[in-house]
């Protein structure tokens, strides 16, 4: 029998490896930025077009490469940072040239330009699908420029799995934020389709956070510092009152490398226990420094997951450090038995002697001895009457008899108006209360009777369907009803979030939102839809931004549809909310007035019915 096992060609092996390392344009951005950082660059430029599908270019002013290194960097298993297997457990660098470049070159057109500081000329290499097209000398500035064009050009199936430009751009920006936050001492610039999105000057960690997420972020940060033999913690957490509905502002960096860890995230959440509103998540930007030998960063090709030798100790230290910072800066409530300084004696009166008040009594005053009183005292005793005026008893003489004489005359002509009573042919008792036809179970389901049996509907999903069709109708006919706010509502967002709101402003205006001003990191609202409470506006917009970042399609109709779904999800009646009888009946009636009452906007069942026959079977 012939042999059936054979070695794969290099270009096929590279494409398979690229599937692990390069999943989308953001993966290329991450690898190229980390390579530039390892080259000791102090200034890095990221240039993308069409969310990275057409072009991803990273330019740095690092130490560059020689002609031999430039060629070897695209070979598989070629690296400058590892000499033995033991080095894998002492990695202090990011990615290294040669690890991912081979995978990227297998699925894209790559052009590399590099020059070392001491060399007179640099070198350029062009590769298409792992094949070197050209290699030559060139006049280039110090550092390295890597240009990746037409990603997945030779794997159309992988290219078809990419999302829309808006979604892919969101992933690219996320990777850019992660790398930029880990290295505040490097000047980063980001250009998208020819326009500058970010220009982050070098500075300290707080300045980098503020430059990325907006000036308003500065007042939200609480510093966290802890230094032990096992772990060193530095960074910031957000104040509880600024917690968000999404997890967009949660960053862990272990040895300056961004990682995801549900276990450590739980430590932060437990430190905020009792301080957050339900459904909100704290913001944190924390850097952890540990011994490289105690962690394993190679359990995943993208190195975003990490394994610790002693997770329980790290959990306890992280939780206590965050809790201590919240208490130290008076964020967490504490019992304080100190005296209130506002009750102290003012400084001007602290040295003055106390004055005992004196009481003066008129010993000659006798209200029952009129002849002994002078004219002034009699007037004072009698409420202002003079000495010769009659006594107070004479003022009431004859009043009783006069009142009896006129009592009948005053009320003789008074008539009382009474309502007309009309007979009815129906024997309906107006005092009998209307029979209740709906009932609420566990503040979640509404039960109503129908001709064939009973109807049970989910109040949250049903209200979602009602609001969804209302918002969709208002955006289509552009007749949303708005209520004016007494004072303008000012909301602060990052520059990228403000850009998303600007793109959705027209549709938001059609459903009732009125924007008076949109600045770099400020959105001012003077009117909201009638069904939207003012206190919920910021939460609704945050949820809307999150939905758009993760799901926005390309067509205008779909974008409008997504907007209506997001608003309906945010404003719908929640499970656990008690409803009055009229509200229950109104919900049932409005649901069956919808075009598609059987499913929610997310295609989940809104109600079920049970016939009398099905009920009878339950009792057999």
The reply to whether 103 falls in a domain is: yes
Q: Does residue 137 sit in the same domain as residue 273?
A: no
Concatenating the DSSP letter of every residue in 171-240 gives HHHHHHHHHHHH-TTSEEEEEETTEEEEEE-S--HHHHHHHHH-GGGGGGEEEEEEE-SS-EEEEEEE-G
When pLDDT is averaged across residues 46-61 and rounded to a whole number, the result is: 92
24-33, 205-214, 472-481, 508-517: segment of lowest average pLDDT: 472-481
The reply to whether 364 falls in a domain is: no
Between CA 553 and CA 180 the distance in angstroms is 28
Domain that holds residue 550: 439-609
Q: Are strands 284-289 and 295-296 parallel, antiparallel or unpaired?
A: unpaired
Q: Does residue 194 sit in the same domain as residue 224?
A: no
- 304, 328, 352 — which closes off a domain? 328
Concatenating the DSSP letter of every residue in 92-136 gives -SS--TTSSHHHHHTSSEEEEEEE-TT-SSEEEEEEETTEEEEEE
pLDDT at 113 > cutoff 90? yes
Residue 372, pLDDT score: 47
Q: Does residue 30 sit in the same domain as residue 168?
A: yes
Residue 29, pLDDT score: 92
Between CA 298 and CA 333 the distance in angstroms is 42
- SS3 string, 46-59, reads EEEEHHHCCEEEEE
Q: Are strands 284-289 and 250-254 parallel, antiparallel or unpaired?
A: parallel
Distance of CA 514 to the CA centre of its chain: 21
pLDDT digits (tens, 9 = 90+) for 432-490: 445 667 888 888 999 988 888 899 999 999 999 998 888 888 777 766 678 888 888 88
The reply to whether 556 falls in a domain is: yes
Residue 396, pLDDT score: 67
pLDDT at 360 > cutoff 50? yes
pTM of the model: 0.67
The reply to whether 365 falls in a domain is: no
Q: What percent of the chain shows pLDDT beyond 90?
A: 19
When pLDDT is averaged across residues 551-575 and rounded to a whole number, the result is: 71
Tell which wins on pLDDT, 181 or 353: 181
Q: Which pLDDT band, with edges at 50, 70 and 90, does 202 fall under?
A: very high
Tell which wins on pLDDT, 504 or 586: 586
pLDDT digits (tens, 9 = 90+) for 23-34: 889 989 998 998
Q: Does residue 185 sit in the same domain as residue 216?
A: no
Between CA 524 and CA 265 the distance in angstroms is 33
Between CA 29 and CA 35 the distance in angstroms is 10
pLDDT digits (tens, 9 = 90+) for 137-173: 989 999 999 999 998 888 888 888 888 887 888 889 9
Angular region, 189: left φ>0, alpha ψ -120 to 50, beta rest: beta
Contacts of 121 (CB under 8 A, 6+ apart): 115, 137, 138, 139, 140
pLDDT digits (tens, 9 = 90+) for 223-245: 999 988 888 999 999 988 888 87
Angular region, 443: left φ>0, alpha ψ -120 to 50, beta rest: left
Query: For the sheet containing 453-458, what is the strand order?
Result: 438-441, 445-449, 453-458, 607-611
Q: Does residue 146 sit in the same domain as residue 220?
A: no
The reply to whether 33 falls in a domain is: yes
pLDDT at 19 > cutoff 70? no
Q: Which pLDDT band, with edges at 50, 70 and 90, does 427 fall under?
A: very low
Q: Does residue 249 sit in the same domain as residue 196?
A: no
How many helices (H) does the chain have, and how many strands (E)? Answer: 17, 22
When pLDDT is averaged across residues 491-514 and rounded to a whole number, the result is: 81
pLDDT at 17 > cutoff 70? no
Residue 80, pLDDT score: 59
For residue 502, the domain's CATH number is 3.30.1370.100
Q: Which pLDDT band, with edges at 50, 70 and 90, does 388 fall under?
A: low
Count how many domains the chain has. Answer: 3
Tell which wins on pLDDT, 174 or 544: 174
Concatenating the DSSP letter of every residue in 418-467 gives -------SS---TTSPPPP-EEEETTTEEEEE-SSEEEEEEHHHHHHHHH
Helix or strand or coil: residue 385? coil
Average pLDDT, the chain: 79
For residue 218, the domain's CATH number is 3.30.230.10
Q: Which of 112, 106, 96, 98 is nearest to 158 (CA)?
A: 106
Q: What are phi and psi of 100, to 5 degrees?
A: -105, -20
CA distances for 617 relative to 400, 448, 450, 602, 609, angstroms: 83, 20, 18, 33, 15
Q: Does residue 180 sit in the same domain as residue 223?
A: no
Between CA 439 and CA 374 the distance in angstroms is 81
Residue 555, pLDDT score: 42
Between CA 52 and CA 55 the distance in angstroms is 5
Identify the DSSP state of 492: E
Q: Which of 472, 444, 435, 443 is nearest to 559 (CA)?
A: 472
Sign of the CA dihedral running 203, 204, 209, 214: negative
For residue 185, the domain's CATH number is 3.30.565.10
439: its two tokens: 């009932």
- 328, 348, 371 — which closes off a domain? 328
Sign of the CA dihedral running 67, 138, 97, 151: negative
pLDDT digits (tens, 9 = 90+) for 295-328: 766 555 556 667 777 788 888 999 999 998 888 8
pLDDT at 94 > cutoff 80? no
The reply to whether 408 falls in a domain is: no
- 328, 359, 388 — which closes off a domain? 328
The reply to whether 476 falls in a domain is: yes
Q: Does residue 156 sit in the same domain as residue 261?
A: no
Q: Does residue 445 sit in the same domain as residue 531?
A: yes
CB 170 within 8 A of CB 145: no
Q: Which pLDDT band, with edges at 50, 70 and 90, does 43 fall under?
A: very high
Tell which wins on pLDDT, 195 or 347: 195
Between CA 110 and CA 123 the distance in angstroms is 14
Between CA 616 and CA 96 the distance in angstroms is 71
The reply to whether 349 falls in a domain is: no
Q: Does residue 549 sit in the same domain as residue 598?
A: yes
74-88, 256-270, 521-535: segment of lowest average pLDDT: 74-88
Q: Does residue 148 sit in the same domain as residue 217?
A: no
When pLDDT is averaged across residues 251-262 and rounded to a whole number, the result is: 88
Q: Does residue 245 sit in the same domain as residue 274?
A: yes
Between CA 420 and CA 265 the distance in angstroms is 73
């Amino acid at each position: 029998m012939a042999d059936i096992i054979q070695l794969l060609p290099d270009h096929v092996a590279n494409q398979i490896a690229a599937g692990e390392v390069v999943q989308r344009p953001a993966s290329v951005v991450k690898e190229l930025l980390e390579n530039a950082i390892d080259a000791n660059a102090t200034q890095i430029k990221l240039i993308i077009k069409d969310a990275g599908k057409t072009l991803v270019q990273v330019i740095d002013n690092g130490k560059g490469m020689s002609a031999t290194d430039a060629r070897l960097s695209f070979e598989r298993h070629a690296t400058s940072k590892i000499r033995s297997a033991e080095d894998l457990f002492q990695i202090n660098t990011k990615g290294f040239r040669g690890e991912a470049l081979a995978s990227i070159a297998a699925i894209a057109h790559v052009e590399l330009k590099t020059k070392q500081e001491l060399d007179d000329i640099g070198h350029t290499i062009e590769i298409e699908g792992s094949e070197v097209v050209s290699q030559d000398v060139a006049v280039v500035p110090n550092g390295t420029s890597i240009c990746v064009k037409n990603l997945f050009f030779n794997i159309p199936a992988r290219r078809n799995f990419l999302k829309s430009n808006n979604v892919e751009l969101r992933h690219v920006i996320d990777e850019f934020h992660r790398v930029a936050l880990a290295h505040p001492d490097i000047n980063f610039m980001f250009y998208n389709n020819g326009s500058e999105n970010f220009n982050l000057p070098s500075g300290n960690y707080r300045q980098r956070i503020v430059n990325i997420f907006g000036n308003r972020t500065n007042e939200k940060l609480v510093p966290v510092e802890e230094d032990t033999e096992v772990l060193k913690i530095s960074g910031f957490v957000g104040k509880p009152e600024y917690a968000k509905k999404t997890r967009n502002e949660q960053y862990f960096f272990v040895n300056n490398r961004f990682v995801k860890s549900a276990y450590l995230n739980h430590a932060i959440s437990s430190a905020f226990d009792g301080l957050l509103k339900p459904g909100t998540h704290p913001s944190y930007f924390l850097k952890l420094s540990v011994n490289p030998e105690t962690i394993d960063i190679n359990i995943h090709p993208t190195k975003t997951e990490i394994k610790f030798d002693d997770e329980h100790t790290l959990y306890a230290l992280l939780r206590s450090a965050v809790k201590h910072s919240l208490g130290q800066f008076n964020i967490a409530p504490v019992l304080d038995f100190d005296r209130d300084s506002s009750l102290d004696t003012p400084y001007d009166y602290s040295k003055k002697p106390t004055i005992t008040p004196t009481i003066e009594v008129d010993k000659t005053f006798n209200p029952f001895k009129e002849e002994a009183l002078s004219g002034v005292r009699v007037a004072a005793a009698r409420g202002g009457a003079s000495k010769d005026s009659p006594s107070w008893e004479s003022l009431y003489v004859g009043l009783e008899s006069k009142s009896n004489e006129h009592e009948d005359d005053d009320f003789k002509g008074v008539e009382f108006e009474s309502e007309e009573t009309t007979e009815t042919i129906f024997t309906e008792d107006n005092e009998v209360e209307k029979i209740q036809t709906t009932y609420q179970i566990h503040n979640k389901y509404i039960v109503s009777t129908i001709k064939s049996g009973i109807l049970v509907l989910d109040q949250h999903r049903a209200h979602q369907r009602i609001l969804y069709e209302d918002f969709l109708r208002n955006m289509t006919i552009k007749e949303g009803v708005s209520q004016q706010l007494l004072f303008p509502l000012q909301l602060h967002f990052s520059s990228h979030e403000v850009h998303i709101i600007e793109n959705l402003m027209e549709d938001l205006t059609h459903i009732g939102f009125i924007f008076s001003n949109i600045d770099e990191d400020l959105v001012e609202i003077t009117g909201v839809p009638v069904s939207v409470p003012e206190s919920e506006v910021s939460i609704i917009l945050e949820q809307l931004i999150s939905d758009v970042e993760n799901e926005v399609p390309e067509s205008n109709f779909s974008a409008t549809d997504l907007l209506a779904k997001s608003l309906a999800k945010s404003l719908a009646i929640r499970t656990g909310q008690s409803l009055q009888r009229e509200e229950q009946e109104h919900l049932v009636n409005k649901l069956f007035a919808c075009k598609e009452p059987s499913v929610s906007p997310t295609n989940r069942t809104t109600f079920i019915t049970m016939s009398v026959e099905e009920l009878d079977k339950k009792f057999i």
